[in-house]
Chain A
Amino acid sequence: KAGVTQTPRYLIKTRGQQVTLSCSPISGHRSVSWYQQTPGQGLQFLFEYFSETQRNKGNFPGRFSGRQFSNSRSEMNVSTLELGDSALYLCASSLARDTEAFFGQGTRLTVV
């Protein structure tokens, strides 16, 4: 059974650009959550999607957005990148909300 797949694994972007990250959950899982990990702030919740609807959102500016497709795959988008957006972005999938979460390998974004 394939795990959670995140693409790309590494990304370098210039300040002001936008970026789209992708997450394919475990087959059959309908809930996808996104997290940002930085050395200073630790692991912070970005948003949660279930059945193509955003169910919960963390305390991040509107530059951070996401969506979920009918096959449960999810994308997150960051517009007008700032240096402080450099981080490891982790995606987690679970069968349903509040059930065991499984994480992907992450996308390491560097903004220069």
Chain B
Amino acid sequence: GIQVEQSPPDLILQEGANSTLRCNFSDSVNNLQWFHQNPWGQLINLFYIPSGTKQNGRLSATTVATERYSLLYISSSQTTDSGVYFCAVHTNAGKSTFGDGTTLTVKP
């Protein structure tokens, strides 16, 4: 099956810093989503981005499907950005495969 690799696994930042999270996938995908998992376990939708670039406030994402990767940018990070960020890809098999996540810690 498809492999999804996220990097880095852990990231520690000072408040106000910028960061880039990466998601590599091993095969063609129908679409790709980025999520933020809150402390209670719920996955919050950040981006639905099969290709191209999208922006939402301090967050933006870019997916280059032909090169099989996606990037999530967080600018001017805040302590509330802390948590685990997941990338999930949907394949022709009709299921989502998640990466192992990046754990982000933003220090005040």
Contact = CB atoms under 8 A, between A and B. Distances in A.
B87 to A, nearest CB: 11
A2 to B, nearest CB: 14
A98 B94 contact: yes
B68 to A, nearest CB: 17
Interface size bracket, A side: 20 to 34
Contacts, number: 54
Interface of B: 30-31, 33, 35, 40-43, 45, 48, 86, 88, 90, 93-98, 100-101
Given A33-B95, A43-B88, A100-B33, 16 more contacts: A37-B41, A42-B100, A42-B101, A43-B98, A48-B94, A50-B94, A56-B94, A58-B95, A90-B43, A92-B96, A98-B30, A98-B31, A103-B42, A103-B43, A105-B40, A108-B41
